[in-house]
Structure 1
Amino acid sequence: MVSPEDGSMRASDTDREHVARRLRIALDEGRLTVTEYDERLQQAFAAATLSELRQLTRDLPESRAEVELAEREEHRTKVVKEWRDWAGGAVIMIAIWGVTSVVSGDPKFFWPAIPLVIWAAVLVASSIEGPGKKKRD
């Protein structure tokens, strides 16, 4: 079995795109010339293994822009997941309300609005916080 640390593991398109993004950031920061960037970018998209990709960025420090980009992506993924969970909960609660209203023969008070509005308010507040903001201990 090949471990992830083994450089002979095949590179994915996502791995190649990550390296291309790192190279672009290095170019923007002035760490690479346009010629170096172009050469490394071509090599990145031709790379077959992770070790070939690592060679292209081994002399580049992890930039703050890259860390911030990763934090934003992680935050966005978290927010999307939380809203997807909210929507799933909404479907279930509204279905329960609908079934009980139909079975009883008359529409009941729309109780799902109470937990859904509270839950949505919490999600909006946590979404506004944004990535990279650490809570105090």
Structure 2
Amino acid sequence: MGERAMEHLPDQPADRPVDFGKKPERKAEEAKPALRVSDRERDVALGVLAAALAEGRLDPQEHAERTEAALRARTAADLAVLTADLPALRPGREELARGRRASRLAEWRRWASVAVILTAIWGVNGIRDGEFHFYWPISVLGIWGAVLVARSIRRGEDEDQG
């Protein structure tokens, strides 16, 4: 295209029709409404503030101010501002022990679930054949159960030392 042809091309694209039904684009933070906090979330924030006071990260005056603000907080953003410059709480000894117990129970629940399934398979095959043969799930369940017992004993020893 020559210079002459370029003179006739518009510098800007033609105006496009406006879609009034379309909402304007907003940032993700603006699009989400502020989430309201629960009493439990306030309690967690108060725990962080109390731990910071106990560790000397906050002086008593600042702790009192932040505690009052935490009790008045309505949204998660209100609480986040109060604890943003403080480290998160570390789980206590009781919480760690509770987590370990829950983990052990979950392992034994999985073992029991597999035991029920394997026993059902063994039983259905026995009914189908008209006689019950050797209880073959014992090999799988026995080995797995022995491993779980050994882990429990080992964890118990580790807890006694630590």
* Deviation of 1:89 (Å): 1.1
Q: Percent identity?
A: 40
CA distance in 1 between partners of 2:28 and 2:65 (Å): 29
Q: Deviations over 1:8-57 (max 9, x none)?
A: 34445664454344345435545457887676556546533221121232
Q: Which runs of 5+ in 1 are unaligned?
A: none
- Contact 1:2 1:9 survives alignment (8 Å): no
Post-superposition offset of 1:121: 3.0
Residues 1:109 and 2:138 aligned together: no
Equivalent in 106, 110, 113 of residue 85 of structure 1: 110
Aligned residue number for residue 26 of structure 1: 52
* Residue-pair matches, total: 128
Q: How big is the alpha-carbon RMSD for the aligned residues of Structure 1 and Structure 2? A: 4.2
Q: Give the TM-score normalised by structure 1.
A: 0.56
- The answer to whether the aligner puts 1:95 opposite 2:120 as a matched pair is yes
Q: Which moved more, 1:33-42 or 1:103-112?
A: 33-42
Distance 1:57 1:78, change over 3 A: same
Deviates more, 1:113-122 or 1:28-37: 28-37
Higher mean C-alpha deviation, range 51-60 or range 28-37: 28-37
Unaligned runs of 5+ in 2: 1-26
Higher relative contact order (CA 8 A, sep 6+): 1
Deviation at 1:95, TM superposition (A): 0.8
